[in-house]
Copies of this chain bind each other. A is one copy, B any other.
Amino acid sequence: MTWTPQDDPDRSPEVPAGKTRDALRAAHLYYMQDLTMDAIAAELHTSRSSVSRLLSHARASGLVEISIHSPLDLPSRLEQEILERHEIAAHVVPVPDQASDVDRLDRVALSAARILGRFIDSNQLVGVAWGSTMSAVSRHLVPKSTHNSEIVQLNGAGNLRTTGILYASELLRRFGDAFGAKVQQFPVPAFFDDPATKEAFWRERSTKRLLELQGRLDVALFGVGSPFAEVASRVYQGGYLERDDYAALSADGVVGDVATVFYRADGSSEGIPLNERATGPDFGVLRRAPRRICVVSGRAKLPSLRGAIAAGLITDLITDEGTARALVEHG
């Protein structure tokens, strides 16, 4: 049904148009007129279970959009505070404090995926990083049809398949499918072994074309890595980095990375040798994107998040309540 291959021009989610029409009608009857599924089944001459499935389809495919408005006199205190203090539009996802880190990630990712549609529109160039957070988000995207948009991979990911993480191509494809956008892959490892190799590669025409795209993004979408947290990011487990690299990062005072580019607590990223071998975009480049959306879950990533904020990388933040609270508390 859905074609998967790399850069597939033939994008045909080709749901039989009749199904969409039925789904639309069912959605009207259900959400606008409060009929029960039984009643709808009768009107559509089908079974109740089919209606249930139609409605699922309607939600999953973005025909039905559910949004939540806090009344203007009662904006989340946290979001308000983050806005004032850091000039970042925050979306705080409520998650109980005792939730496990995986729960947290799942729930933030789910919420993030549902919010994303508001940021992505036609004629946009969207940069997407590769990592466990983005992978989780990609699993829940709600389709939204756009014209002439492109998804651009921000950093390489090698060819390894790490547990629970998708091939970069799979992740990108999901974004592409969800928004009907063309996908620009970036088939390089996360880190080169030798800076020289990277430089050589960077001179390639195909690479240059991609870098050029990265330079004029409308939206950038990424998580943050957190090398020294208890639960280290995937990048640090996939065998991309050696013990030595790790030690060097520590010595340099690195607190995190965005799309494989490392930074210190103050947001600086100059003079960190590993960055010479990284494949992600320079922060100067990244900051050209007018909208830079960061998805973070778990307090373990707090130092890393702080660094990314200090580096001015973030314009929109989607995170769990605990992290948001911690961010403003000892701010």
| Chain B minimum-CB-distance residue to A32 | B111
Contact present for A66 and B68 (CB under 8 Å): no
Asked if A21 lies at the interface with its beta carbon under 8 angstroms from chain B, I say yes
Q: Which of A69-77, A170-178, A221-229 contacts B (4 or more CB under 8 A)?
A: A69-77
Please, which residues of chain B bring their CB within 8 A of the CB of A32?
A: 66, 68, 93, 110-111, 114-115
List chain B residues, Cβ under 8 A from A70: 24, 63
Q: How many angstroms from the CA of A71 to the CA of B144 in the assembled complex? A: 9
Check if A65 sits within 8 Å of B67, measured CB to CB.
yes
Which B residues touch A21, using CB under 8 A? 74
Known interface pairs A17-B74, A20-B74, A43-B96; A68-B114 also in contact (CB < 8 Å)? no
A94 in contact (CB, < 8 A): yes
Complex-state Cα separation, A96 to B45, whole angstroms? 11
Q: Are A68 and B145 in contact (CB under 8 A)?
A: no
Contact with B along A44-86 (1 / 0, CB 8 A): 0000000000000010001111111111111000000000000
Contact yes or no, A69 B74, CB < 8 A = no
CB distance from A238 to the nearest CB of B (A): 29
- Which residues of chain B are near A43, meaning CB under 8 Å? 94, 96
Per-position 1/0 for A5-44, Cβ under 8 A of B: 0000000000001001100110111011110000000010
Contact B68 A107 (CB under 8 A): no
Query: A33 touches which one: B24, B34, B110 (CB < 8 A)?
Result: B110
Task: State how many angstroms separate the Cβ of A103 from the closest Cβ of chain B.
Answer: 10
Known: A94-B25, A96-B43. A68 touches B31 (CB 8 A): yes
Contacts of A68 in B (CB 8 A): 24, 27-28, 31-32, 58, 63-65
- Chain B hits for A145, CB < 8 A: 71-73
- Would you give the shortest CB distance from A29 to chain B, in whole angstroms? 6
- Bound Cα distance A63, B65 (Å): 14
**B27, B58, B94, B114: the one within 8 Å of A29 (CB):** B94
Specify the chain B residue showing the minimal Cβ separation from A140: B34
Q: How far is the CA of A72 from the CA of B147 in the complex (A)?
A: 11
Closest to A106 in B: B33
Q: How far apart are the CA atoms of A67 and B69 in the complex, in Å?
A: 13
- A202 to B43 Cα, complex, angstroms: 50
Query: Interface readout for A108-133 with B: 1 if CB under 8 Å, 0 if not?
Result: 00110011000000000000000000
Residue of B with least CB distance to A65: B67
Which chain B positions have C-beta within 8 A of A114? 32
Which of B29, B31, B63, B94 touches A71 (beta carbons < 8 Å)? B63
Residue contacts A-B, CB under 8 angstroms, 16 given = A17-B74, A20-B74, A24-B74, A27-B68, A28-B111, A31-B66, A31-B68, A32-B93, A33-B111, A43-B96, A58-B68, A63-B71, A65-B67, A65-B68, A65-B69, A71-B145
Known contacts A58-B68, A65-B68, A73-B145; 16 further A-B pairs (Cβ under 8 A): A17-B74, A20-B74, A21-B74, A28-B93, A31-B66, A31-B68, A32-B68, A32-B115, A33-B110, A33-B111, A43-B96, A62-B69, A64-B66, A65-B67, A66-B66, A72-B145
